Amino acid sequence: MALLQISEPGEATAPHGHRLAAGIDLGTTHSLVASVRSGVAATLPDGEGRHLLHSVVRYLETGEHQVGATALRQAASDPLNTIISVKRFMGRGVEDVKSLGSVLPYEFVASESGMPLIRTAAGDRSPVQVSADILAELRQRAEQTLGDELTGVVITVPAYFDDAQRQATRDAGRLAGLNVLRLLNEPTAAAVAYGLDRGSDGIIAVYDLGGGTFDISILRLSQGVFEVMATAGDTALGGDDMDRAIAAWVMQQAGVADDPAHAMQRRLLLAACAAKESLTDGDQVELAVALENGTQWQGTLTRKTMDELIESLVRKTLGPCRRALRDADLNAADLREVVMVGGSTRVLKVRTLVGEFFGRRPLVDIDPDRVVAIGAAIQADILAGNKPEESMLLLDVIPLSLGVETMGGLTEKIIPRNTTLPASRAQEFTTYKDGQTAMALHVVQGERELVEDCRSLARFELRDMPPMTAGAARIRVTYQVDADGLLSVTAEEQTSGVQAHIEVKPSYGLSDNEIESMLRDSMDHAEDDVKARRLREQQVQADRVLEALQAALQQDADSFLSSEERNAIEQAAAKLAVLRNGNNAREIKVAIEKLESVSEVYVDRRMNANIREAMAGHTVDEFK
């Protein structure tokens, strides 16, 4: 916290100890940042009063870049350097990106790890970097408005995002210098924003159709707990596809040949998008598109024609709706509400078909563009510790099964989809050759039987196993998925007790070193800044640990610790407190680790006592 807090006129200064936190909706077509101020969650506008930031980044030859409306204005004239809908490429490989559609006006090159890089005038840019530039813009906006640095953010992702896509989003946050408290699923955020916990308990469906992604989530709300029961969706379906369908119709009407030039494609898509938007009010719209031969095509698009063009796209969303209901073991009649989220739910045809499917009128009260960011801000405020008494809790599920490749290229599921997070599961494998000392594991995500139809997440190598006869080794592979839906894998050979060595190579992600070097590159005065930043990070971490520990010790040290144990902890804490004021980041880090290891017993005992206390109200006989 800075010493001085600047507040806007008419607004109370944040109370002492209030941590500034924000929710960020990193969307395909636009992004928003929201924060809770004086108890009210609202999206934050830029200097010109605009809340929505176009998720568009334009890279210039000078190495600089523009974000938002400025960048979008040049989209038609500078298509190759103006990156739109980058969210579609997050966590994807080059081959995936190519299969997303023939109408991608960018030049892709593959990085060494197979990640697609977009060739721009300012150099090659990964989707993670482009997203980080959008996040950094929002961060700046939030910090200017709120008057201080953010202590943490919640970034939303489609519920259907797989591990690679989530990891990429988290990396983008890190690259933008943000402390990501949590990745939150967009539909869950929307449910929170609707304040549905304030009303009566019940089951709701959140239908989220954005620019490039579709999600359906079924949530059960009871006593402040939002429990995701099932989720389904399509990470490559959204309003952009409607634009493409309309653009294809225009091409047909105007007699434009297939595969037009980049600039022409861009003009067509922008005209299609504008037409779609004006048809949410009107019954017909006039279109005018400048053709490559210098003439101009003019025509009329009626709502009826548009509805026909997009109907099959909208119907594609109903299959996942049905699947989510089935996974939750529910009928449409069991739902209390259906909530609409995402700009594309403004399209009337979408509301009609969804209303028909669920047999009820969907809720559209909160601006579908802002609802996700608002929910994320509420969650960020709670996670930052500003509302210790708040009882809200979000229990998310894993959207796609996690598995491992076995004999014959088949997938063996280890954690099935819709398992509540955090979750862990272990499975045992053995060797097939005498004297085998190493084995390779291929981690995949998806529902299909064949590995080639699933998403490849990572390849692991287990080495230095003691040689044994075939089938004698017992290798336990443990999957752990945290509350963000991010996976970590460990493997251990059981019979010898040897903890074998594991190497992780994310298939399409960035390694820690790559992120580190990108962070360095992005700094103006590289060396000094990195050092100062590292020191500050460690100091913040030290303060956090010390603060939490002191509060705990004051509360209950005597109940859980012998005087010797307490002395050891306090000595380690005192040492950290001294080093924290020095300027050696490494020493602080070591002291933190030392303190945490000394207080391990204490943490365990406290947590177990908390569990006992939570169950104390219930006696074994109570409900007999």
Q: Which is nearer to other proteins, 57 or 230 (CB)?
A: 230
Minimum distance, C-beta of residue 73 to other proteins, in the bound complex (Å): 39
Note whether 422 binds other proteins by CB under 8 A.
yes
Note whether 437 binds other proteins by CB under 8 A.
yes
Note whether 613 binds other proteins by CB under 8 A.
yes
Diameter over CA atoms, the chain? 88
Q: Which bin fits 28, alpha (ψ -120 to 50), beta or left (φ > 0)?
A: alpha
Quick check: is 186 catalytic? yes
Q: Which is nearer to other proteins, 110 or 432 (CB)?
A: 432
Q: Interface with other proteins by CB under 8 A: which range of 94-102, 157-165, 341-349, 429-437? A: 429-437
Find the binder of other proteins among 478, 522, 539, 550 (CB under 8 A).
478
Residues 6+ apart with CB under 8 A from 281: none
**What does DSSP assign to residue 343?**
G
Note whether 623 binds other proteins by CB under 8 A.
yes
Note whether 394 binds other proteins by CB under 8 A.
yes
Minimum distance, C-beta of residue 137 to other proteins, in the bound complex (Å): 25
Quick check: is 227 catalytic? no
Q: Which candidate in 25, 46, 396, 570 is catalytic?
A: 25
Minimum distance, C-beta of residue 17 to other proteins, in the bound complex (Å): 12
Cis peptide before 187 (omega within 30 of 0): no
Q: Which of 146, 167, 164, 143 is nearest to 155 (CA)?
A: 167
Minimum distance, C-beta of residue 613 to other proteins, in the bound complex (Å): 8
Q: Interface with other proteins by CB under 8 A: which range of 42-50, 73-81, 99-107, 384-392? A: 384-392
Minimum distance, C-beta of residue 490 to other proteins, in the bound complex (Å): 9
Note whether 604 binds other proteins by CB under 8 A.
yes
Q: How far apart are CA 138 and CA 24, in angstroms?
A: 8
Q: How far apart are CA 619 and CA 624, in angstroms?
A: 10
Residues 6+ apart with CB under 8 A from 264: 256, 291, 292
Note whether 439 binds other proteins by CB under 8 A.
yes
Q: Which bin fits 561, alpha (ψ -120 to 50), beta or left (φ > 0)?
A: beta
Mode of pairing for the β-strands spanning 82-84 and 56-59? antiparallel
Minimum distance, C-beta of residue 404 to other proteins, in the bound complex (Å): 7
Rg for the chain, CA atoms, rounded: 26
Note whether 14 binds other proteins by CB under 8 A.
no
Q: Which is nearer to other proteins, 73 or 387 (CB)?
A: 387
182 φ, ψ (degrees, to nearest 5): -170, 145
Q: Which of 202, 159, 165 is nearest to 184 (CA)?
A: 159
Name residues contacting other proteins, limited to 257-316 (CB under 8 A). 315
Quick check: is 87 catalytic? yes
Q: Interface with other proteins by CB under 8 A: which range of 107-115, 239-247, 292-300, 472-480? A: 472-480
Note whether 347 binds other proteins by CB under 8 A.
no
Find the binder of other proteins among 6, 109, 110, 426 (CB under 8 A).
426
Supply 454's token pair.
């699933």
Quick check: is 171 catalytic? no
Find the binder of other proteins among 54, 442, 455, 580 (CB under 8 A).
442
Q: Which is nearer to other proteins, 44 or 325 (CB)?
A: 325
DSSP one-letter string for 5-50: ----TTSPPPPTTPPPEEEEE--SSEEEEEEEETTEEEEPP-TTS-
Q: How far apart are CA 461 and CA 439, in angstroms?
A: 6
Residues 6+ apart with CB under 8 A from 308: none
Q: Which candidate in 46, 78, 133, 186 is catalytic?
A: 186
Name residues contacting other proteins, limited to 215-234 (CB under 8 A). 222-223, 225
Site map (CB under 8 A) of other proteins, residues 358-377, x = contact: --------------------
**What does DSSP assign to residue 362?**
P
Minimum distance, C-beta of residue 456 to other proteins, in the bound complex (Å): 11
Name residues contacting other proteins, limited to 17-56 (CB under 8 A). 19
Sequence-distant contacts of 492-496: CB under 8 A, at least 24 apart? 493/462, 493/465, 493/466, 494/428, 495/468, 496/465, 496/466, 496/468
Note whether 539 binds other proteins by CB under 8 A.
no
Only one residue has tokens 């995402």, namely: 342
Minimum distance, C-beta of residue 64 to other proteins, in the bound complex (Å): 35
Note whether 405 binds other proteins by CB under 8 A.
yes
Name residues contacting other proteins, limited to 484-523 (CB under 8 A). none
DSSP one-letter string for 604-622: HHHHHHHHHHHHHTS-TTT
Mode of pairing for the β-strands spanning 53-54 and 30-37? antiparallel
Q: Which of 155, 159, 209, 163 is nearest to 183 (CA)?
A: 155
Note whether 566 binds other proteins by CB under 8 A.
no
Q: How far apart are CA 418 and CA 566, in angstroms?
A: 43
Minimum distance, C-beta of residue 432 to other proteins, in the bound complex (Å): 5
Note whether 389 binds other proteins by CB under 8 A.
no
Which amino acid, residue 315? R
Q: Which candidate in 46, 133, 171, 208 is catalytic?
A: 208
Minimum distance, C-beta of residue 332 to other proteins, in the bound complex (Å): 13
551 φ, ψ (degrees, to nearest 5): -60, -45
Q: Which is nearer to other proteins, 161 or 357 (CB)?
A: 357
Note whether 242 binds other proteins by CB under 8 A.
no
Note whether 417 binds other proteins by CB under 8 A.
no
Task: Tell me if 541 sits within 8 A of 583, measured CB to CB.
Answer: no
Count of alpha carbons within 13 angstroms of residue 403, beta-carbon side? 23
Note whether 569 binds other proteins by CB under 8 A.
no
DSSP one-letter string for 167-183: HHHHHHHHHTT--EEEE
Site map (CB under 8 A) of other proteins, residues 135-174, x = contact: -----------------x----------------------
Minimum distance, C-beta of residue 544 to other proteins, in the bound complex (Å): 6
Q: Where are the beta strands (DSSP E) in 254-295?
A: 284-290
Note whether 624 binds other proteins by CB under 8 A.
yes
Note whether 550 binds other proteins by CB under 8 A.
no
Q: Which is nearer to other proteins, 117 or 545 (CB)?
A: 545
Only one residue has tokens 């037009």, namely: 260
Note whether 548 binds other proteins by CB under 8 A.
yes
3 state SS of 303: helix
| Residues annotated catalytic, as ranges | 25, 87, 186, 208
